[in-house]
Amino acid sequence: MQPHDSQPPQPAGGPADPYPALGGWAQAQDVTATPSEPPWYPSSPQYPAAPYGIPTSQYGATPYGYGVAPVPPGTPPQRQPRGLSPYGMPARHPWEIPLLVVVCVITTLAMLIAVAACIDLVLDRKLPSIYLIILVFAPIVVWFLRGMTYATMRVNGVKMSPTQFPEGYQLVVEAAARFGMAKVPDAYVVLGNGQINAFASGHGFRRFVAVYSDLFEIGGAAREPDALAFIIGHEVGHIAAGHTSYWRQLGMFVAPSLPIVGSSLIRSQEYTADNHGYCNRHVGAPGAMSTLAAGKYLNKLVGFDEMADRAAIEKGFFVWIGNAMSSHPVLTWRMWALRDRSRHGKLFLRPSRPAGAPPAGSYPSNYGEVPALPPKPVP
Ligand SMILES: [Zn+2]
């Protein structure tokens, strides 16, 4: 496991850290003692302040100062306060539970109506449509698909262990400990074929995360360990937040077919999982987002601040509907949420720049202008 860059030394004479490798308590104590003017990503030398855009300190929203409460050393994760900072426990997005209730009610109604319609059709000696049959048998469909997904991992995935992808395995163990989970989920590396992705699911009482091989790069080591720690924290966070339970997935059965409402619930879950990733390794957030934006080779050239700034600039109906229909928050909004830790990520309305903030970008004055060409030489 890569050491946590920002881990300060354990205070002399302080109580023993129950997870010495994580450095959580020592960090929290240290940070609450020095909240003045911290840098934005304090221990991420490869992500210096972007040359363009608003210096992030002007937002007054830093990883510190929000959700940080004095936590007595040795407090188990379950008893730590929830917030948006990297310290304590990660917060759930406030829209998640209300939207979950709405979607569960709609799913239940849809299933009841489907059962009634099927009975009606069968009594009339007519064949119900395939959609009605799938709705009626949703509990079996969800169970079957979960079982198949898990079986695919068990027979085709490379299982992370202390001897196989040990770096990834250690990150999963670290995330499970940080989120106060009773069990470490299984973790697999699956063939990515160039795709950058990861997901979490479960079957029965088992939970697992799967990471696409392209995140691991050469020789089993991640090119950007902090970004991988963020992504694994995000996926383990889905499990810790209960997103992978059978009942949850059954209750959300119609969510993918529910425009706006269903996709917004899924987006709020993604913000919750991002909060977990941020809690697990906040310095990995820019690298993870840059990799999602530009891939594993160009990620280092992405200006995180410059791209996040565009969340407040790009506007209009199609931006709004594109985000509203999407299962993940659009990247610029997601980056903004990971940068501004004073509030939760925006679900429906684009983030707005704080009053008095200077305009984004400090480009050359001729940026975007078509230059005049010199006259062509005449032969
Ligand atoms: Zn996710």
Strand partners, 319: none
**What is the whole-number distance in angstroms between the Cα of residue 44 and the centre of ligand 1?**
23
Please give the pLDDT value at position 133. 93
Mean pLDDT of 326-340: 94
Does residue 268 contact residue 99 with C-beta atoms inside 8 Å?
A: yes
* Nearest C-alpha neighbor of 231 from the set 316, 300, 168, 178: 168
Q: Which residue has the higher pLDDT, 64 or 213?
A: 213
Q: What does residue 161 show for φ and ψ, rounded to 5 degrees?
A: -155, 175
Confidence of residue 103 (pLDDT cuts 50, 70, 90): very high
Please give the pLDDT value at position 69. 53
Residues 6+ apart with CB under 8 A from 294: 301, 302
**What is the whole-number distance in angstroms between the Cα of residue 201 and the centre of ligand 1?**
11
Provide the CB-side half-sphere exposure for 116 (13 A, CA).
6
Length of the chain counted residue by residue: 379
**What is the whole-number distance in angstroms between the Cα of residue 74 and the centre of ligand 1?**
30
Quote the tokens at residue 187.
Answer: 């973790």
* Nearest C-alpha neighbor of 338 from the set 264, 282, 280, 263: 282
Does residue 207 contact residue 230 with C-beta atoms inside 8 Å?
A: no
**What is the whole-number distance in angstroms between the Cα of residue 93 and the centre of ligand 1?**
13
Please give the pLDDT value at position 237. 97
**What is the whole-number distance in angstroms between the Cα of residue 352 and the centre of ligand 1?**
24
Confidence of residue 358 (pLDDT cuts 50, 70, 90): low
* Nearest C-alpha neighbor of 31 from the set 83, 76, 108: 83
Q: Which residue has the higher pLDDT, 362 or 144?
A: 144
**What is the whole-number distance in angstroms between the Cα of residue 145 and the centre of ligand 1?**
18
191-205, 254-268, 342-356: least confidently modelled range: 342-356
Is pLDDT above 90 for 83? Answer: no
**What is the whole-number distance in angstroms between the Cα of residue 233 and the centre of ligand 1?**
10
Mean pLDDT of 97-126: 94
Please give the pLDDT value at position 30. 36
**What is the whole-number distance in angstroms between the Cα of residue 234 and the centre of ligand 1?**
6
Please give the pLDDT value at position 299. 85
> Average per-residue pLDDT in the chain?
81
**What is the whole-number distance in angstroms between the Cα of residue 361 and the centre of ligand 1?**
30
Residues 6+ apart with CB under 8 A from 107: 138, 250, 251, 252, 253, 254, 255
* Cα→Cα distances 59→170, 219, 261, 342, Å: 35, 40, 31, 9
**What is the whole-number distance in angstroms between the Cα of residue 104 and the centre of ligand 1?**
20
**What is the whole-number distance in angstroms between the Cα of residue 251 and the centre of ligand 1?**
18
Is pLDDT above 60 for 186? Answer: yes
pTM across the whole model: 0.80
Is pLDDT above 70 for 10? Answer: no
Does residue 207 contact residue 200 with C-beta atoms inside 8 Å?
A: yes
Please give the pLDDT value at position 80. 83
**231-281 per-position pLDDT tens digit:** 999 999 999 999 999 999 999 999 999 989 999 999 999 999 999 999 999
**What is the whole-number distance in angstroms between the Cα of residue 227 and the centre of ligand 1?**
14
**What is the whole-number distance in angstroms between the Cα of residue 238 and the centre of ligand 1?**
7
Is pLDDT above 60 for 225? Answer: yes
The alpha carbon of residue 102 and the mean position of all alpha carbons in its chain are separated, in whole angstroms, by 23
